[in-house]
Amino acid sequence: MNNTKTAYFFLRVSMGINLLGHGLVRLVKLQDFASGMMKGFETSWLPQPMVHLFSVTLPFLEFTIGVLLTIGFKTRIATMAGASLIILLLFGSSTVENWEAMGIQMIYAGLFYILISRIKDNYLALDQK
């Protein structure tokens, strides 16, 4: 095992736990979370039914991607799904001019870049043969 593989493992698991945690805490209060998102996007030009659909779907996506990354299963798909999710979040944040959230989301985008571009360093994962 080399340092690059160890670093990849810790980054993958860290991102996995992060997303899993986001999803888990939102799932247990799904309606409150969805209501909060709807309120936060009242000034957006996005249609409210679309915001509602996304807000009730988001925690399931976060949880699923988080589990996959944490255990290292379907890592390539999970990292691509995570990066795609960040793009959707960036788009949504831009519609309400939430520049602070976008800054944080750009950090996530950079971390997903590392996970995707260094996928060959995936280690201690169920993906391994």
CA 62 to CA 82: how far, in whole Å?
Answer: 8
Neighbouring CB atoms inside 10 A of 87's CB total 13
Phi, psi values for residue 44, rounded to 5°: -80, 155
Q: For 1-60, write each residue's pLDDT tens digit.
A: 689 999 999 999 999 999 999 999 999 999 999 999 999 999 999 999 999 999 999 999
What is the residue extent of each domain of the chain? 3-121
pLDDT tens-digit series, residues 43-87: 999 999 999 999 999 999 999 999 999 999 999 999 999 999 999
pTM for this predicted structure: 0.95
